[in-house]
């Protein structure tokens, strides 16, 4: 099922309650690169996801070369009959404006004491902040059956 526009509250709640996400970027040779992200947060009704990285990390270089990214948000320990996850495709861009850095920090700090502590000690330069503008959100819900009927695609 495909819908356009807004992302339902139950999908946003699912994202908000996930302690971790998997971020996919694209390596220089075109292969995907996956890593676990703990400090991420959605805002703007799910149309924006903020995350951060160490400055100069592989992911910062990969995003500079190819801004297409994907997030997979999936809770641990689910029963197959009720299995759910959310995949968000989008375009990642560095956050540089002070007001947006402050907004991102305010959203990310509560999710990670480590982030909050480093920001307090070292300031915004401790991290490279990114915002992802979502282009598509897929919500998989096996409680609706297994197969195409279990997938809701939202073009953002």
Q: Average pLDDT across each block of 10 residues of the chain; the chain has 156 residues. List them in order.
A: 74 96 96 96 96 94 97 96 97 97 95 91 94 97 93 94
Q: Specify the pLDDT at position 128.
A: 95
Q: Specify the pLDDT at position 5.
A: 65
The pair of structure tokens assigned to 122 is: 């070292």
Residues with Cβ within 8 Å of 2's Cβ and at least 6 positions away in sequence, in order, are 152, 153, 154, 155
Q: Specify the pLDDT at position 4.
A: 62
Domains and their CATH numbers in the chain: 2-155 (2.30.110.10)
Query: For residues 92 and 63, is the Cβ–Cβ distance under 8 A?
Result: yes
Instruction: With CA atoms as reference, report the closest residue to 140 among 4, 11, 6.
Output: 11
- Model-level pTM? 0.92
Whole-angstrom Cα distance, residue 73 to residue 31? 21
Q: Specify the pLDDT at position 64.
A: 97
Token look-up 């070292």 returns: 122
């Amino acid at each position: 099922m495909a819908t356009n526009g807004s992302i339902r509250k139950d999908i946003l709640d699912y994202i908000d309650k996930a302690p971790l996400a998997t971020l996919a970027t694209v390596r220089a040779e075109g292969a995907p690169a996956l890593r676990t992200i703990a400090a991420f947060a959605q805002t703007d009704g799910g149309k924006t996801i903020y995350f951060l990285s160490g400055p100069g990390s592989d992911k910062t270089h990969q995003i500079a070369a190819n801004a297409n990214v994907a997030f997979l948000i999936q809770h641990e320990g689910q029963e197959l009959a009720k299995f759910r996850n959310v995949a968000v495709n989008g375009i990642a861009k560095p956050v540089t404006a002070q007001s947006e850095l402050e907004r991102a920090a305010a959203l990310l700090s509560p999710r990670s004491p480590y982030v909050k502590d480093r920001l307090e000690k070292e300031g915004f330069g401790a991290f490279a902040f990114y915002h992802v503008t979502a282009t598509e959100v897929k919500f998989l819900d096996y409680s609706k059956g297994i197969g195409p009927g279990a997938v809701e695609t939202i073009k953002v």
